[in-house]
Amino acid sequence: MRAYPLEWPEGFSRTKACERRKHKFQVKLPLVVPEFKEYLASIKCTDLEISCNLHQPFGEKEMHADDFVAGYLNTYIQQYITGKTYGIRNFENWIEDIVNKERVHHPTVDPGVVVRYNRTTRQNGLLVKRAIVLPCDKWLRVRDNLKAILSTIKNLEKISEWGVPEIQERTYEAIAVPALPAPPSCWAILGVPRGATEKQINEAWRVKSFELHPDRGNPNGGTLSQSEVNVARDNALKEIGAR
């Protein structure tokens, strides 16, 4: 359910440290996670994963660490906002340097949170499963970013209540992680029909191995490796009961 350290998804920009703000969410870290799990379960979502830089269970101790780092950074950020830079030429970079130095001792100096889960809905009589990824690092505390994501999900789910379910589905379709193409089957790798004989499988394996020999410069353009061909042969032989 929890992934450490933070794994920020590709394609999403990060908030600069000097642009993060202190949110006034009245939420406790030990409570927001159960609330998250309970709500997602109520809307039939599964496989919840929360990725952040808290490497312990979400408890009171982690909440205090979260508060300390947020307060520590907020002091400098308020100076940046009010223009009290005290002669520092590039205050923005200076704050980024503080974050980088503190990262080792206080991981939540990067308070970003990424929530991943699977959402299944029925469309045109078919069940459609989508992998959803929602990141947030706008706020100075981990729990505020987590609460912001939960509030976003709740508002997305309310769209259907307002009588426009198609807009809701299109929104989820836009933010869903594209499904990865299925890897080629052992039969496709070897270039033989499913259910080929043991002799045909071994012959195809020898041909592929010959093509992949270093002296031939791999005419497949490096798309296949010898280990993949070996695994394909083993799987094909197992499937026909020859192993």
Q: How distant, in Å, are the alpha carbons of 38, 46, 146, 179 from that of 186?
A: 41, 31, 42, 21
Helix (H, G, I), strand (E, B) or coil at 115: strand
Q: What are the tens digits of pLDDT across the range 88-117? A: 667 677 677 777 777 666 766 788 999 999
Q: What are the tens digits of pLDDT across the range 134-157? A: 999 999 888 889 999 999 999 998
Report whether 43 contacts 93 (CB < 8 A). no
The candidate with the shortest Cα–Cα distance to 121, out of 171, 162, 163, is 171
**Which class is domain 186-239?**
mainly alpha
d(CA 10, CA 228): 27
Helix (H, G, I), strand (E, B) or coil at 118: strand
DSSP state for residue 8 in the 8-state scheme: P
- Parts of the chain with a pLDDT under 70: 1-2, 55-65, 72, 80-81, 84-89, 91, 94, 103-105, 107-108, 125, 178-182, 215-223, 243
Pair type for strands 126-136 and 113-123: antiparallel
Helix (H, G, I), strand (E, B) or coil at 130: strand
Q: Where are the domains of the chain?
A: 2-175, 186-239
d(CA 165, CA 163): 6
